Every structure is written in structure tokens, then in C-alpha cells.
Structure 1
Amino acid sequence: MDDLGAQLRHARVEAGVTLASIAARTCYSASHLSNVEAGRRTATPDIVLAYARALGEADVRRRDLLAAATIGPIAASDLIRNGFTAALAGHRDSADRWRDRVDQYGRDYMEIGADSLQTRLANDLVVMQQQLDSPTMWATAARALTTYGKTTRDPAEAIGWYDTARIAADRSDDLAVRVWVRGRAAIALAYEGAALPVAQRYADEALALSDRPSLGRLQALMAHAHVAAGRGDTTAAIAADQDAQRVFDQTASPDNEISDAAVPAWRMATFRSMLYARLGITRTGEQAQTDADRLRPATLTRFATHIELHRALMMTKAGDRAAGLAYARQAWTALPADRRSQTLGLVLREVEKAARQRR
């Protein structure tokens, strides 16, 4: 039997909460959750989070929640060893050191492969979860968890991490972090064309928290634009893009800043390139692609491939489906396997889907 599933069942029964009420907080049925509790299905992070919200911190402690969510995707033995080594050594990095380390992960995300980054970040998360004793540490953990979600291979798994990050951000009481985590998660999902209702919810939450211009608000507005495009609402997509551009004018990151936490001009152009490729508006899309290629640092080869896939999507939208598909597959093949990401794979699939559609 899955010990975590048994623990969840025990906590639920003790609290007098039904499986139906837990199911209402997830995309899973009560029968699936019953299988989780019996150990026949895996207790994924989003399921653990749903139990945590329903039962309260007294039944599923916050540190157990983070630990359980962290151990799942990586070899548990290595994580446990690293966690115990740090605990037994009695060494605690300062909040500033943790913040600097997470800042470095944000920079590394832009340039190295997801698998390598995921393993390193998972090890640090196991140690970090033992030290969540201040609002600053919760804010740092929230940012790390958001980056971790971006290293996963499945949108459903990423959503579990983004939900964990939202909880951590709320525990920090840092408004800027709360908005950024939700905005970053929203644009990640919306850009990928994955889980649009969840992307919409994250974006709505970010915008409701604060109306001050910020990178979190900017990304939430761009998420709204991509959600609208995914639903075929061109007017709403363009309006949201215009709102986002106004915020970008006030909050843009320096052109030479390379970090997942930054939105310099080349990255904004990349968001817009995908948006207008989706909408099939060639002139605006081509201008965004030119801007992205002109401004992007040469080291960011993965993001160059994004633009190539956007060009392929525009070709298929314009009716040249065979050429668009061939262009996309050539761009994918040209990028080394260890530099690919879940996001690129989903964009490629969108091109393939567009190429199959009848006109």
C-alpha cells in the first residue's frame, strides 16, 4: 500500500471529510481518489494539495506537504540522503544565501536543460523545506517551486507544482511574489496552450491581488491574451496584448538580464510572436519574431527554436501545412535533445495539430 495514500485517508476520515468534497477540488473522480488512498494510484502533488486545502494544516502539515510533493518525480533515496545530511550537519544557509541560489536557478533555467536543472533544484527543495521558518524563506521557496514546475514534462504535474508555489507565496505575505507566482504560472500554461481554464484562473488571481504595474501583472495579462487566442476570440486577445504592452512599458527588465524572473524586450516579443502566430495575423507576428531574434542574447538557443516553431505555426495557419510541419520538425531536430523542454514539445504538437486540420 502507498503509505502517503494511507496517510491521506486517515487524515480525511479523522476530519470527517468525504471523498466527494476532495474530488470537487481536483480534476479527479472520487473513485480515483479512493484508489489513491488504497495505494493503487499515485498521490500526485495536486491531489496532496487538494487534501491539504480541504483538511487544513492540522491534518496535513505544511512541511510534510512540500516533502511529499518533492520526492515524487526524483529518486527518493538521493533526496532523503541529501536532506538528512544537511539536517545532521546542522548547517543552515541564510535567507539571503537561499535567495541568491534561487536567483541563479532562474538564470540557469534560461540556458541549460530541464533534466539537469530539475535534479539540482529538487535536492535544494528537500533541504529548503526544513528551513521554512520565516516569510522570506516562504517567498524564496515559492519562486523555486515555480521554476521547478517549469522543468516537468507534463502540464498536469506542472499544475501541482504551481499550486504548491501559490500556497508558499501566500504564506510569505509578500504581495509581489504572490502576484508573480500566479502570473508566471498563468503565462507558462497559456503559452503552451495547456489547461487554459487553470491558466485563466491563475491570471485572474494575479490581477485581483494588485493593480500595480509589475512583471507578475504583465505575465497575467499576456496569459489572458493567449487564453483568448486559444478560444478563438481575436478581439479579446488583441485587447489583452495591448494592456500587457502598457504594463511592459513601465516594468520592462533590462535587455541584458537573463533570468526566468525577468521580461526584457526580447522575451516580450517571444510572447507576442506566439500569440500572433496562433491568431494567424502574419504582419504583427513577423515583426515580433524579428524583434525577438534581433534582441535575444546569442546564448539562448532554446528560445531561438521557439521563434522557429512560431514561424512554422504561421505557415500552417496561412495554408502551407506541409511546409510548416516540415519547418517545425527541422527546427526541433536541430536543437540538441538536452536543450529541449516540455514547452517546446507542446508548441511542436500545436503545429502538428494545425497541419492536420482541414480547411
Structure 2
Amino acid sequence: MTRTGAQLRVARNAAGVSLRAMAARTNFSKGHLSNIEAGRRTVTPDVVLAYERVLGDDVDRRGLLTGLAATAVGSTAVAELIRRGFTAALHADASVDTWLERVESYGHQYMTCGAAHLQRKLAADLVVLQQHLEQPALWAAAARLLTTFGKTSGDVDEAVSWYRLANLVADRSEVNCVRVWVRGRAALALAYEGARLPVATEMARQALDIDDRPSPGRLSALVARAQAAAVQGDRANALRLLDDARRVFDVVGSGDLISDFAVPEWRFHTFASMLLSRLGDPRAVGEQDAADRTRPRELARFATHIELHRGLMVARAGDVEIGKAYARAALNRLPADEHSQSLKLLLAEVEGVQPTRQDPASGSSK
């Protein structure tokens, strides 16, 4: 039995909570938690925080989560993480305003810098931020940073684990707009990439159920559900949900702000372009042109998104090899250190388009 798994089991037993009850209250299966406690499966941050949320002070929150955060970024980065974390802690200002400013800075950096540039900085700040969570308002800041950290992971399964942890942290904040945003943004990240659609759909549903008022989080959740429907070939629902999202955008669209926490005009056009390209809908061309026309010049990575959408649209329209070649060339023009997980998965989606089969008797497509 691992030390962490054993601690979770001791804390659960001390609180008088059965394994079955813990499974029901954390939404993990009884078998999965049993394996975690017995050391047969690796403890992940979302499981640790789920126990802490249910059991409260019976779990040593700081010790467990600090250790997990240090190892989650990979063994080769641990020394650098420790150095950065202690350096930041020595000069840290624990005020809520300081952390909120830092969160907004990361929102801007996510749009303008590569994931590799952000990951270690984010990890170090998250290690420090854990030590200040006695201030309830900082749970909301932590939830947003954890979501951003998940998007820098470069691995879908790892990203999902961080998104789940961010959901739990957001719930601890008790700030509904943050609870909605964290779930909606995670769902959008997955659905835009065509990855883990059941997880994306469930997180989007949760976001929409928490609060029905227009907000950036609700907008992301609606777009996520629309993208998932498009990937699954459900054209009618995809277009309906896109229209719902457009109505929310008309209320909460955010001008020219360059931030992952905002949805300006160019970004909504990018979402619509992706969805319509997946459907092979010719209206995608108008969305692509609008995205290029309204997007800030410095966001070259997002210009590449649109070029990949064009490749996908061409492939879906029947010129499969031309579309694939166009998409490959577009990604190759972007410096390799800016090849995000989203771009790589989008190229894989284009590469996966198959030629339309023809019925030899009638000449019709199958």
C-alpha cells in the first residue's frame, strides 16, 4: 500500500465513512477508490482533493497536494519546480488582489506564449498558492490556474485529471461564475480537440446546470456541446447549440481583450469556423475570413488554427489529399515550439478524413 493511499484510507475510516459512501460522494467508482487506497493504482490530484472535500481536516491537504503537484510535471522538472516555488514563496505577497492579477496575467500569456513556456511557471505558482488557501477567495484563483495548467500538459488524459481537480477546487470557492467557467472551459478544450467527448459533454452539462445566466463559462459550455455534436455527426443539434452560443456571445462578448478568460469577436468566429468545417458546411468560409479579419496580428498560433480549419473543410468537401496537404503545410509554417496540443489533434483530425466512397451502380456517395 502506498503512503498516500494508506493516508486516504486511514482518514476515511477515522471519519466513519464507508468506501461505498465515499464513492457515492466523490463520483469515483468503489473499485477505483479501493485500488487507490490499496496502492494498486496511482493516486491522482483529483482523488486527493475529493477526499479532502468530503473528509475535511482528516486529510493532510497541504502535504498531499504539494507532493503531487511536484511530481505531476515530470521527474526532470522537479528540481526546477522546487527552486522556482521557494523563490516565489520568499517574495510572495499573499493578498487576494496580487493573485487575481497573476491569474489575469496567465490568461494573457496563454494566448500569446507556448504551453512549454507557461508550464513550469504555473506549477511553481500553484505550489505557492496552496499555502494561502485559508483565504476563501483564493480557491477561485487556484481553480482558474489549474484549468490553464491542464491545458499546458500536452497529454489528454493528464489534462482531464487536472480539469477534474480544477472542478473540485472551484466548488470549494463557492463562486458560481468560476464553477461554470472552469467546467465550460475544460469542456471546450476537449471538444474543440475532438478528445474525450463523454467527459467534455458531462462537464458542459454541469456548467449549464449550475447557473443559467449568460457568462463566458456558459458560452464555452454551449460551444463545447456544439463541437461534440459536430464531431459525432449530429448536424441539427450542432447548429442549434451554435445558435444558442451566439445569443450568449451577443451578451458577454468581450471586445478586443487578449485573454483565455475572454471571448472577443475573432475567437467566436474561430469556434464557429471549427464547427462548420467539421460539418462540411460552406458557411465555414465566412467564419474563417471574419476570424482572420478581426484577430490581433500577434496571435500567429490562432491564424494557424484557421488554416487547419480550411484544410479540414477542403477534405470534408471531397478533396481529401489536397486538404491534408494544405493542413500539413500550414502547421509546418508555424515554429515547432508553438505546435500546441490543440493544433496537433486538429491535424490528426484532418489526416483522419477518409475519401467518400462511390456507389458504382448509381455514382452516388456513400
Q: Same fold (TM over 0.5)?
A: yes
Specify the alignment match of 1:7 in structure 2. 7
1:193 Cα deviation (Å)? Answer: 0.9
Query: Does residue 331 of the first structure (1) align with residue 330 of the second (2)?
Result: yes
1:33 Cα deviation (Å)? Answer: 6.4
1:175 Cα deviation (Å)? Answer: 1.7
Rate the CA distance shift 1:40–1:76 in 2: closer, same or farther, 3 A.
farther
C-alpha distance in 1, partners of 2:239/2:352?
A: 23
Three-state SS of the structure 2 residue aligned to 1:179 is: helix
Specify the alignment match of 1:305 in structure 2. 304
Of 4-13 and 265-274, more deviation after overlay is shown by 4-13
C-alpha distance in 2, partners of 1:51/1:321?
A: 49
Rate the CA distance shift 1:204–1:332 in 2: closer, same or farther, 3 A.
same
C-alpha distance in 2, partners of 1:323/1:21?
A: 53
How many residues in Structure 1 have an aligned counterpart in Structure 2? 354
Query: Does residue 259 of the first structure (1) align with residue 259 of the second (2)?
Result: yes
1:19 Cα deviation (Å)? Answer: 8.6
Q: How does 1:171-186 map to 2 (within 5 A)?
A: 171-186=172-187
C-alpha distance in 2, partners of 1:343/1:352?
A: 14
Contact 1:82/1:127 (8 A) holds in 2: no
C-alpha distance in 2, partners of 1:3/1:269?
A: 49
Specify the alignment match of 2:45 in structure 1. 45
Specify the alignment match of 1:271 in structure 2. 271
C-alpha distance in 2, partners of 1:189/1:266?
A: 20
1:194 Cα deviation (Å)? Answer: 0.9
Specify the alignment match of 1:76 in structure 2. 78
C-alpha distance in 2, partners of 1:302/1:96?
A: 30
1:37 Cα deviation (Å)? Answer: 5.1
1:350 Cα deviation (Å)? Answer: 0.9
Q: How does 1:114-125 map to 2 (within 5 A)?
A: 114-125=115-126
Three-state SS of the structure 2 residue aligned to 1:139 is: helix
Specify the alignment match of 2:194 in structure 1. 193
Three-state SS of the structure 2 residue aligned to 1:354 is: coil
- The gaps in structure 1 that reach 5 residues or longer are none
C-alpha distance in 2, partners of 1:278/1:29?
A: 38
1:232 Cα deviation (Å)? Answer: 1.6
1:340 Cα deviation (Å)? Answer: 1.4
Rate the CA distance shift 1:210–1:7 in 2: closer, same or farther, 3 A.
same
Contact 2:88/2:124 (8 A) holds in 1: no
Rate the CA distance shift 1:32–1:338 in 2: closer, same or farther, 3 A.
farther
Contact 2:119/2:149 (8 A) holds in 1: yes
C-alpha distance in 1, partners of 2:21/2:157?
A: 20
Matched to 2:201, the amino acid is Q
Contact 1:125/1:141 (8 A) holds in 2: yes
1:30 Cα deviation (Å)? Answer: 3.8
Deviation string 1:176-203 (CA, Å, 9 cap, x unpaired) is 1111111111111111111111111111
Matched to 2:308, the amino acid is L
- Name the TM-score, length of structure 1 as normaliser: 0.89
Deviation string 1:306-355 (CA, Å, 9 cap, x unpaired) is 11111111111111111111111111211111111111111111111114
Specify the alignment match of 2:157 in structure 1. 156
- Name the TM-score, length of structure 2 as normaliser: 0.87
Specify the alignment match of 1:206 in structure 2. 207
Deviation string 1:141-192 (CA, Å, 9 cap, x unpaired) is 1111111111111121111111121122122222211111111111111111
Specify the alignment match of 1:286 in structure 2. 285
Of 290-299 and 55-64, more deviation after overlay is shown by 55-64
Deviation string 1:204-223 (CA, Å, 9 cap, x unpaired) is 11111111111111111111
C-alpha distance in 1, partners of 2:248/2:106?
A: 26
Matched to 1:249, the amino acid is D
Contact 1:139/1:168 (8 A) holds in 2: yes
Specify the alignment match of 1:99 in structure 2. 100
Matched to 2:44, the amino acid is T
1:93 Cα deviation (Å)? Answer: 3.1
- The gaps in structure 2 that reach 5 residues or longer are 358-365
Contact 1:48/1:65 (8 A) holds in 2: yes
Matched to 2:195, the amino acid is A
Identity across matched positions, percent: 53
Contact 1:280/1:314 (8 A) holds in 2: yes
